């Protein structure tokens, strides 16, 4: 009998980060290797508590173990004999049984699931089935990971709890998709990347269950330049353009568990280059460009999932920058609104003024609460990511003129007062963020 410790994480299910540990007795037979947690990473997770700056040189690129665990062959997990023992098939951890095993596993950090999957067939099958993630969601155990792309077809994942980086498998696609504008969305256990194929819009799907990419999914009405957001296993995409550049008022709901698309009622206004968020269990599409004259929209729209109706909300967009208005910059030159929701409160990054703004839902107006990180520079909003990550806001970007080529991740907890940005990580990736998504599962 060997004992290992699984990191128990509920850091993002409450306003404060808490850590505790659970000891699991693992019956190691037939040469199966035990679950181990690197001592340095364990201390790092326990002590940092998502507060102290982390330099990219100190992060653990050794997240490859996560990938290797998911890719272990069934024959290897059988200890060379080709078949698992009866106890392996009947229970995940023989002394405490399947139910107790699952109850413990859903509280482990998901960064450990790759190692757990390599223990035996039962573990691997359970993790790759997605059952653990469904149970985590029902139990309120959510760990957001940040996924970003700073190079064409290449993606990195960052675990902000333990400060670990993981390089995803490279996307395989044609030249048309590689050179086209791409948008991303994380929903359930999937990362979706939308782009242009040779003849139509295409979607590539990365699954954390298999650590691999697949393609071939299609919306009912393929589009680009849309607003989108996810809530658990569902996501809503609204507006955008079709392949003939027509601005759309249509919307669709995607269910990641069934991998199906459902057409929703149309919005009140067609719009493209808009942003989407979930707030108070409703979906909001904000700002964008609409009409034949490509007019900037200041309104937003709320979609009620229960009544399946849209409601227009005036002045919900944080607005264009003063420089854009003074220089008569085309509306399409600016990025869509940089907005994010934490604890059902809506925030915006106003890049021109380097300010953080908050939306007053009762008065339906924006007000400034503080400043963005000084090195959070962008080109009219492009190249900068502003995301919700659990109970905090995260700004992702790097300096454009110094030639350093770093991406910096800064975070702030709005419930703790005015913006005080903490450096989470710095990594040599290039200083332009093409796409970014946060997956909480």
Spell out the SS3 assignment of 161-209.
CCCEEEECCCCCCCHHHHHCCCEEEEECCEEEEEEECCCCEEEEEEECC
**Sign of the alpha-carbon dihedral angle for 223, 226, 227, 229:** positive
Distance CA 177, CA 132 (A): 33
* Res 146 pLDDT > 90: yes
Tell me which of 58 and 312 has the higher pLDDT.
312
**Sign of the alpha-carbon dihedral angle for 115, 117, 121, 122:** positive
Read off the tokens for 422.
Answer: 């903490």
Count, residues in the chain:
441
The predicted structure's pLDDT at residue 320: 65
- What is the per-residue pLDDT across 213-231, written as a single tens digit (0 to 9) for each? 998 778 999 999 999 999 9
The predicted structure's pLDDT at residue 401: 59
Give me the helix-helix angle, 121-129 and 64-71, nearest 10°: 110
**Radius of gyration of the CA atoms of the chain, in A:** 22
Mean pLDDT of all residues in 280-293: 91
Q: Is 85 exposed, middle or buried (0-12, 13-18, 19+ CB in 10 A)?
A: middle
For the chain, residues classed under CATH 2.120.10.80 are 144-440
- Compute the C-alpha angle 405/213/114, nearest 5°: 85
- Compute the C-alpha angle 368/372/378, nearest 5°: 120
* Res 266 pLDDT > 80: yes
In 3D space, the residue among 283, 220, 218, 221 whose CA is nearest the CA of residue 247 turns out to be 221
Task: Assign domain 144-440 to its CATH superfamily.
Answer: Kelch-type beta propeller (2.120.10.80)
Distance CA 410, CA 136 (A): 27
Tell me which of 321 and 391 has the higher pLDDT.
391
* Res 258 pLDDT > 90: yes
Mean pLDDT of all residues in 121-137: 88
| Residue 317 CB-half CA count within 13 A | 22
Percent of residues, the chain, with pLDDT higher than 90: 51
Read off the tokens for 91.
Answer: 């229970």
The predicted structure's pLDDT at residue 239: 97
The predicted structure's pLDDT at residue 327: 53
* Res 48 pLDDT > 90: no
pLDDT category at 336 given cuts 50, 70, 90 is very high
Q: What is the mean pLDDT of the chain?
A: 79
pLDDT category at 102 given cuts 50, 70, 90 is confident
85: Cβ–Cβ under 8 A, 6 or more apart, which residues?
A: 29, 30
Mean pLDDT of all residues in 80-89: 40
């Amino acid at each position: 009998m060997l004992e290992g410790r699984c990191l128990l994480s509920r850091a993002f299910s409450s306003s404060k980060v808490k850590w505790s540990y659970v000891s699991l007795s693992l019956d190691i037979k037939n040469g199966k290797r035990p679950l181990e947690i690197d001592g340095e990473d364990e201390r790092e997770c326990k002590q940092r508590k998502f507060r102290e700056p982390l330099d990219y040189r100190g992060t653990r690129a050794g997240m490859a173990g996560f990938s290797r665990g998911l890719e272990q062959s069934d024959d290897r997990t059988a200890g060379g004999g080709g078949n698992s023992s009866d106890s392996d098939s009947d229970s995940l951890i023989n002394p405490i049984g399947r139910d107790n095993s699952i109850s413990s596993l859903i509280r482990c950090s998901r960064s450990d699931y790759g190692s757990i999957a390599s223990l035996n067939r039962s573990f691997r099958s359970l993790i790759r089935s997605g059952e653990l993630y469904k149970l985590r969601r029902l139990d309120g155990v959510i760990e957001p990971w940040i996924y970003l792309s700073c190079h064409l077809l290449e993606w990195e994942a960052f675990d902000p709890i333990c400060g670990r980086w993981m390089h995803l498998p490279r996307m395989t696609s044609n030249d048309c998709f590689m050179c086209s504008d791409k948008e991303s969305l994380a929903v359930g256990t999937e990362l979706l990347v939308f782009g242009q194929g040779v003849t139509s819009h295409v979607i590539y799907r990365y699954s954390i269950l298999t650590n691999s990419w697949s393609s071939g999914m299609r919306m009912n009405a393929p589009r680009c330049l849309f607003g989108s957001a996810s809530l658990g296993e569902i996501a809503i995409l609204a507006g955008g353009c079709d392949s003939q550049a027509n601005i759309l008022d249509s919307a669709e709901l995607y269910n990641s568990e069934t991998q199906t698309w459902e057409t929703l009622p149309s919005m009140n206004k067609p719009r493209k280059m808009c942003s989407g968020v979930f707030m108070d269990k409703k979906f909001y599409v904000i700002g964008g460009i609409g009409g034949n004259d490509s007019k900037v929209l200041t309104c937003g729209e709320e979609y009620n999932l229960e009544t399946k109706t849209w409601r227009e909300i005036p002045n919900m967009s944080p607005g264009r920058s003063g420089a854009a208005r003074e220089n008569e910059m085309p509306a399409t030159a600016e990025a869509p609104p940089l907005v994010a929701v934490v604890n059902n409160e809506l925030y915006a990054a106003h890049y021109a003024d380097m300010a953080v703004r908050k939306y007053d839902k009762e008065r339906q107006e924006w007000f400034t609460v503080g400043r963005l990180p000084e090195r959070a520079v962008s080109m009219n909003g492009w190249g900068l990511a502003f995301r919700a990550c659990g109970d905090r806001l995260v700004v992702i970007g790097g300096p454009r003129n110094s030639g350093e080529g770093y991406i910096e991740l800064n975070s702030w907890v709005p419930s703790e007062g005015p913006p005080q940005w903490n450096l989470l990580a710095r990594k040599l990736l290039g200083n332009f963020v093409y796409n970014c998504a946060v997956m909480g599962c």
